[in-house]
Amino acid sequence: MDEAETIALRRAAALAAERRHCYCGVWETAPEKFVALGLPEQFCGWCQVCGEPGHTRHHPGAVPATGCWCDRHYGRLARWHPATPMGCLVWLCVLSGIGLGAWGVVFW
């Protein structure tokens, strides 16, 4: 990979980082930090679930936490974690399902 290509790639990573709210912007400002961690270009961390290259970013839900997830596991977290809008809906359905079931058992 030549110099111009690397710069273009890092620019693209930084732009994607703005949308994703992750730390890929560091590729443009201090790439040596990520190179030292052995990270591949366009990734800013290792997924804490599967160990694949991913992005260090804020938890998708209303949880004051930052972690590192690959796109697959970040998506899964956004869907299933009870503190995210979608996950909350899922859990509400599950819990109200259990509640209705219990009500059915007691009053039928």
What are the residues whose beta carbons fall under 8 Å from the beta carbon of 25, sequence distance 6 or more? 13, 14, 17, 18
Of the two residues 10 and 55, which places its CB atom closer to Zn ion in the complex? 55
Which residues are within 8 A (CB) of 70 and not within 5 positions of it... i.e. 6 or more apart?
Answer: 47, 49, 50, 52, 53, 54, 55
- Residue ranges that bind Zn ion, judged by CB under 5 A: 22, 24, 44, 47, 49-50, 52, 55, 70, 73
Q: Which one, 73 or 82, has the nearer CB to Zn ion?
A: 73
Residue 26 beta carbon to Zn ion: minimum distance, rounded to whole angstroms: 8
Shorter beta-carbon distance to Zn ion: residue 46 or 87: 46
